[in-house]
Amino acid sequence: VEASIPEPQREAWLKNQASGFKGKDQFEKEVVRHVETTLARSMFNCDETAAYAATSLAFRDRLVIEWNRTQQRQTFADSKRVYYLSLEFLMGRALDNAMLNIGEKEVAKSGLSELGFRVEDIIQQEHDAALGNGGLGRLAACFLDSLASLNFPAWGYGLRYRYGIFKQEIIDGYQVEVPDYWLDFNPWEFPRHDVTVDIQFYGNVNKTTDDSGKVTAHWEGGETVRAVAYDVPIPGYATPSTNNLRLWSSQAASGEFDFQKFNSGDYESSVGDQQRAETISAVLYPNDNLDRGKELRLKQQYFWVAASLYDIVRRFKKSKRPWREFPDQVAIQLNDTHPTLAIVELQRILIDLEGLDWDDAWNIVQQTFSYTNHTVLPEALEKWSVGLVQHLLPRHLQIIYDINLFFLQMVERNFPKDREMLSRVSIIEESQPKMVRMAYLAIVGSHKVNGVAELHSDLIRTTIFKDFVTIFGPDKFVNVTNGITPRRWLHQANPGLSSLIASKAGDPEHYLKDLTLLNKIELSVNDPAFRKAWAEVKLANKQRLADYIKSTTGIVVSPKALFDVQVKRIHEYKRQQMNIFGVIFRYLKLKSMSPEERKKVLPRVSIFGGKAAPGYWMAKQIIHLINSVGSVVNNDPDIGDALKVIFLEDYNVSKAEIIIPASDISEHISTAGTEASGTSNMKFVLNGGLIIGTCDGANIEITREIGEENIFLFGNLAEDVDDLRHKNTYGDHKIDPSLDKVFNVIQSGTFGNAQDFQGMVSAVREHGDFYLVSDDFHSYLETQELVDKSYADQELWITKCITSVARMGFFSSDRCINEYAEEIWNVEPLQPDTNNGVGKGE
């Protein structure tokens, strides 16, 4: 590496190489230096915010050194890289993760303590990086952690939203959205004002023919917006490898503003141009599992995809390799269909700008891309109107039509007897207006398509993408069951449990890198001291959450009660409504008991959290009902500790880190066949909580791993859902008697104005109960009773918990990333130099 620098300069550079702090004394020195010089403050006005800033900068210096080395190493090795394109990266906080991955948390703890701070308080100063909605965005963040920890040369590409997912406030029981301006102070990003790409929109296409008769398309005119790169270092755990997450920010292309307009007095419109450009990366769309087809969203997609591809192609061209080697150097993973235009953009670059033949170009494209599907819900499958694509990206629409033409010709040749096949699989839906089906485009342009859990992958093969399995053969469609990073979701969120595990499974550095080693704790399942310590860890985590609940809601809950948690985006298919109906049923039952009877019941705390998309009326109604039930139940003197209902506002990654380790039971109760995988189910079990759930998504594989005696499954199966829905709509739909009782109480006004909750009730009673709440309600209540009974036998309960954790190794995102690397990307890790002694994990 150094050989590229000429002799005399090289010496000076090497002699003065930055190294970052080593050990506690240097750490303190660096913190004080950053307080005094970078922040221009002193020990007399260094509050926790400043201490956070200085600590982060000290750690950042360490990260950057390894980051530069990793990037140089990857450039010189010139091996294949993975590019993970995702519109969402739900990163949460970075400092704690950096301390852990670099392996210097103990140093930070004692150093900060000598300077007068507690490391936990400092960590909590950080604002979450919340550039995502839910599971899809968090999956991308877990993948980045695993890619770096496993030493894969990999980059993430996303958008640098000025506003992440909104902050949720609950006011009078209603959700209120508050903008999340998070960039005020962000030490983790590096603006690269020299790395820019000008992105074109609108305009028109002209074709020219050269002497040989070759036709070339030229996309001309329109407007230009500048993409500026912001880089975020992603440290691996217990390895010096530090990868890059590149987020694009939009700016006016013409400089600060149009001086012509400014000087001629048209100040407002000159600023207006700039603001319009900045709008592209201004805000994350707050929809989860829903496609709303807004023009600005399509602009975001193309802006991000075009800038990323320009960057990737620029890097490839430096190697001077022939184009056919592109797929040997580049694997691009499409996180859902949001980046599907990348397929069209690469084809455009190759044929219009690089002069390749269509077929050669298309081969390269197909070998380069692969696509992950995350849902079968029809309302979430992206479609863009042909008119909108034509207007915004005229050349891309032509290419989409050509891709479709050649694809349909192939289908016609291979399946001449099935005439209806053509309209079924056409990338263009012949509706009014015509629509581009993005999932079909993604399939046709990729070499592999994967689902995210076994049931989900089976469903896409047999339902929504059935014809494509016929056309391309079964090998194109694979399963890669999701995973989670055990660094954040075990060691960081639950240090107590992690060190208890370490006492049996050995060094965290080993089992956090090979999570199957967790199975060692199963040998201690009958060890009384281990079991006692296990129970103490859980109780301490519940106490921590109880304190948090007290401080944020004022409500006192007993850590001895059974903590029942459902935290995730609010959605009808996830069925928080079924949970709250169940809570109401429990409340009615408690009310019907004598005080003596009531004293004997196992107390329960029902904890909810999650955001509703701002335009999702039913989801907001569900939040309102949960809060209304809470204010009745929590203030009912008959009830006391027997039942508490808590809604925790603004659920996000850093709150998940407190909530998840504190659960006894968590709810993953989607209508069978609707939740592609779920990933919080994995987090809860890994943290020693049990699950009540449906046979859906990864619940099924969790059951297979931990054993069906360790999970509370209930409800109808995916294979029966269609028939049940049909019956509910066309047959005589009798609703479950217990649910009917609950509805009558809601309608009597017990929880406030019955009108406010009419939508939720009539969705079940009158509109066919699409999510089968009534069909599953009896089974749900019975299973909740079984949960109470099982919890009463604490010894058996603890056995279930320990056994489950021991068997969760499969769900590490490291396993998941290794599967992608082998089955889809064909990439190898690049081992770091092991002799520089940096980057030892804790």
Could you give the CA distance from residue 647 to residue 659 in angstroms, rounded to a whole number? 12
Comparison of 238 and 436: residue with beta carbon closer to ligand GPW: 436
Using CB under 6 A as the binding rule, the residues of this chain from 136 to 155 that contact ligand GPW are 136, 139
User: Per-residue contact track with ligand GPW, 324 to 353, x per CB under 6 A?
Assistant: ------------x-----------------
Q: Which of 73, 504, 569, 668 is catalytic?
A: 569
Comparison of 73 and 655: residue with beta carbon closer to ligand GPW: 655
Q: How far is the CB of 608 from ligand GPW (least distance, A)?
A: 18
Helices of type H across 445-488: 454-462, 466-472, 486
In three state form, how does the secondary structure of 122-153 look? HHCCCCCEEECCCHHHHHHHHHHHHHHHCCCC
Could you give the CA distance from residue 340 to residue 329 in angstroms, rounded to a whole number? 20
Q: How far is the CB of 634 from ligand GPW (least distance, A)?
A: 31
Comparison of 70 and 699: residue with beta carbon closer to ligand GPW: 699
User: Per-residue contact track with ligand GPW, 576 to 595, x per CB under 6 A?
Assistant: --------------------
Q: Which residue has the tokens 């929590």?
A: 634
Choose which of 20, 111, 134, 156 interacts with ligand GPW (CB under 6 A).
134
Could you give the CA distance from residue 232 to residue 191 in angstroms, rounded to a whole number? 9
Tokens of 544: 């921590």
In the annotation, is 375 catalytic? no
Choose which of 227, 284, 341, 380 interacts with ligand GPW (CB under 6 A).
380
Using CB under 6 A as the binding rule, the residues of this chain from 660 to 679 that contact ligand GPW are 675-679
In the annotation, is 683 catalytic? yes
Backbone dihedral angles phi then psi of residue 468, each to the nearest 5 degrees: -75, -25
Q: Which of 160, 395, 568, 624 is catalytic?
A: 568
- Count of residues interacting with ligand GPW (CB under 6 A): 19
**Under rule CB under 6 A, residue 508 binds ligand GPW:** no
Could you give the CA distance from residue 542 to residue 663 in angstroms, rounded to a whole number? 7
DSSP-assigned letter for residue 673 = T
Q: Pick the piece of the chain touching ligand GPW (CB under 6 A) from 315-323, 372-380, 796-804, 825-833.
A: 372-380
Helices of type H across 194-323: 259-263, 267-279, 295-318
Which amino acid does the sequence have at 131? L
Comparison of 151 and 335: residue with beta carbon closer to ligand GPW: 335
User: Per-residue contact track with ligand GPW, 687 to 726, x per CB under 6 A?
Assistant: ----------x-----------------------------
Q: How, if at all, do strands 477-479 and 643-648 pair?
A: unpaired
Q: How, if at all, do strands 435-437 and 383-385 pair?
A: antiparallel
Q: How far is the CB of 445 from ligand GPW (least distance, A)?
A: 18
First to last CA, the chain: 29
Backbone region of residue 779 per phi and psi (left: phi > 0; alpha: psi in -120 to 50; beta: other values): alpha
Residues facing residue 224 across a β-bridge: 200
**Under rule CB under 6 A, residue 452 binds ligand GPW:** yes
Q: Pick the piece of the chain touching ligand GPW (CB under 6 A) from 63-71, 129-137, 312-320, 353-361.
A: 129-137
Q: How far is the CB of 668 from ligand GPW (least distance, A)?
A: 10
Tokens of 631: 């204010």
Using CB under 6 A as the binding rule, the residues of this chain from 283 to 302 that contact ligand GPW are 288-289
Q: Which residue has the tokens 């509805």?
A: 743
- For residues 34 and 58, the answer to whether their CB atoms sit within 8 Å is yes
Comparison of 119 and 139: residue with beta carbon closer to ligand GPW: 139
Tokens of 305: 């995809």
Q: How far is the CB of 380 from ligand GPW (least distance, A)?
A: 4
Could you give the CA distance from residue 673 to residue 815 in angstroms, rounded to a whole number? 24
Other beta carbons less than 10 A from residue 259's beta carbon? 11
In the annotation, is 374 catalytic? yes
In the annotation, is 727 catalytic? no
In the annotation, is 624 catalytic? no
Q: Pick the piece of the chain touching ligand GPW (CB under 6 A) from 135-143, 246-254, 303-311, 725-733.
A: 135-143
Choose which of 20, 92, 135, 236 interacts with ligand GPW (CB under 6 A).
135
Using CB under 6 A as the binding rule, the residues of this chain from 386 to 445 that contact ligand GPW are none
Q: Which of 574, 598, 611, 624 is catalytic?
A: 574
Q: Pick the piece of the chain touching ligand GPW (CB under 6 A) from 100-108, 128-136, 426-434, 801-809.
A: 128-136
User: Per-residue contact track with ligand GPW, 811 to 830, x per CB under 6 A?
Assistant: --------------------
Peptide bond into 187 cis (omega under 30): no
Identify the CA nearest to 453 among candidates 694, 248, 214. 694
In the annotation, is 513 catalytic? no
Q: Pick the piece of the chain touching ligand GPW (CB under 6 A) from 24-32, 130-138, 525-533, 586-594.
A: 130-138
Could you give the CA distance from residue 246 to residue 156 in angstroms, rounded to a whole number? 6
Q: Which of 80, 396, 683, 800 is catalytic?
A: 683
Comparison of 136 and 798: residue with beta carbon closer to ligand GPW: 136
Q: Which residue has the tokens 């399509």?
A: 298
Residues belonging to the chain: 842
**Under rule CB under 6 A, residue 87 binds ligand GPW:** no
Q: How far is the CB of 376 from ligand GPW (least distance, A)?
A: 9
| C-alpha distance from residue 645 to each of 151, 220, 637 (Å) | 45, 60, 14
Tokens of 358: 């269509």
Choose which of 74, 333, 482, 579 interacts with ligand GPW (CB under 6 A).
482
Which amino acid does the sequence have at 288? D
Residues engaged in binding ligand GPW (CB under 6 A): 133-136, 139, 288-289, 336, 374-375, 380, 452, 482, 675-679, 697
Give catalytic residue positions.
374, 568-569, 574, 679, 683
